[in-house]
Amino acid sequence: MDATIVVLGGDGIGPEIVHATRRVLDAVALRHGHTLRYDEQLIGGAAIDATGQPLPAATVEACRRADAVLLGAVGGPKWDDPRAPVRPEQGLLGIRKALGLYANLRPVKVYPALADASPLKAERLVGVDLLVVRELTGGIYFGQPRLRERREDGSERAVDTLEYTDGEIRRVVRLACQLARQRRGLVTSVDKANVLESSRLWRQVAIEVAAEYPDVKLEHQLVDSAAMRLVTHPAGFDVIVTENMFGDILTDEAAVIGGSLGLLPSASTGEGRRGLYEPIHGSAPDIAGKGVANPLGTMLSAALLLRYSLGLEAEARAIETAVERAINEGARTRDLGGTLDTTAMTDAVLARLG
């Protein structure tokens, strides 16, 4: 297999964890006889500094030509001025939209060896294996905002719009049902239908879609109670499908159940095979440049890249197994209570690649 991967290091720890992950991808490619070509492009704050834009046209074009995109993280205090005309995050939202990546898969797995690192009691972690399917190109992230305005009485107002069409809901719920079929067959659709009109549409469409999948059981849960259940009974979930912002919030919560935000990978997919793969964590400006970031979330994202965009299941598993073995055998970065730096953790994974 000959494939081109666009690499978007981005900001903060992004370039470090992506560099570490490339070492692992190269080792896997070498072992299995594949050629992976990397095309490094700019996004986020780094792109603003170099070009004035968070998502240069060259980046979008390169991504369209590539088989897959691997991304580190974007954002940081340097670009955080609320009055700035452009923001790093616009680059990330822009590339998701430009590539039509409407579904973001965030699998939450608990490694028993990390039970100590979890804020939850060990008995609550037994059997936790869930997949959040987050809608990624609609909702309040993309509805027309009304920027801040000063009103006649001197007060200020800003407006965001939470908007969904039935088609946007249907395609992501359908994907959730298909994925549930390959798992335990339960889809929990999370909404706020007791308050929001868009959630009532979401719920109605979810019911219609689930009717096409008689082997899948659909349940509905309000987002506030879902947030609670994630920490009281996380093992009760199989596939969670939800709108963009609820999914953003719930997945940070779900991630720490496993011990660290640094472990959770994600895959963003659309119609074709080309996807974008990134850890769910941010750019961690506090530790950027120190070489101590946990690269595992990015490595596990690269495994998803091999599986979903390149169809390389054995190679994906090789990375996942190596990560699991490294964890089981005690490899720990600082976020997991250990002392390994990024390079040492990467070496630990490389040493266990089958």
Least distance to Mg ion, CB of residue 281, Å: 8
User: Looking at beta carbons, which residue is closest to ligand IPM?
Assistant: 89
User: Residues 141, 164, 213, 277: which is the catalytic one?
Assistant: 141
CB 317 within 8 A of CB 305: no
Active site residue 252: yes
Binding at 75: pick from Mg ion, ligand IPM, none (beta carbon under 5-8 Å per type): ligand IPM
Least distance to Mg ion, CB of residue 228, Å: 19
Site for ligand IPM in 54-93 (CB under 6 A): 74-75, 89, 92
Q: Which is nearer to Mg ion, 189 or 244 (CB)?
A: 244
Q: Which is nearer to Mg ion, 248 or 278 (CB)?
A: 248
Contact between 263 and ligand IPM per CB under 6 A: no
User: Residues 26, 39, 160, 252: which is the catalytic one?
Assistant: 252
Least distance to ligand IPM, CB of residue 36, Å: 24
Residues 164, 168, 169, CA angle at the centre, nearest 5°? 80
User: Residues 191, 248, 335, 341: which is the catalytic one?
Assistant: 248
Residue in the block written with tokens 């028993």 = 112
Least distance to ligand IPM, CB of residue 93, Å: 6
Site string for ligand IPM, 196-235 (x = CB under 6 A): ----------------------------------------
List all residues 6 or more positions away from 273 whose beta carbon is below 8 Å from its beta carbon.
67, 308, 309, 311
Site for ligand IPM in 97-126 (CB under 6 A): none
Q: Which is nearer to ligand IPM, 12 or 56 (CB)?
A: 12
Site for ligand IPM in 277-296 (CB under 6 A): 280, 282
Q: Which residues bind Mg ion (CB under 5 A)?
A: 248
Q: For ligand IPM, which residue of 67, 191, 238, 248 counts as binding (CB under 6 A)?
A: 248
Binding at 327: pick from Mg ion, ligand IPM, none (beta carbon under 5-8 Å per type): none
Active site residue 141: yes
Kindly list the catalytic residues.
141, 192, 224, 248, 252
Q: Which spans of this chain sit near ligand IPM (rule: CB under 6 A)?
A: 74-75, 89, 92, 248, 280, 282
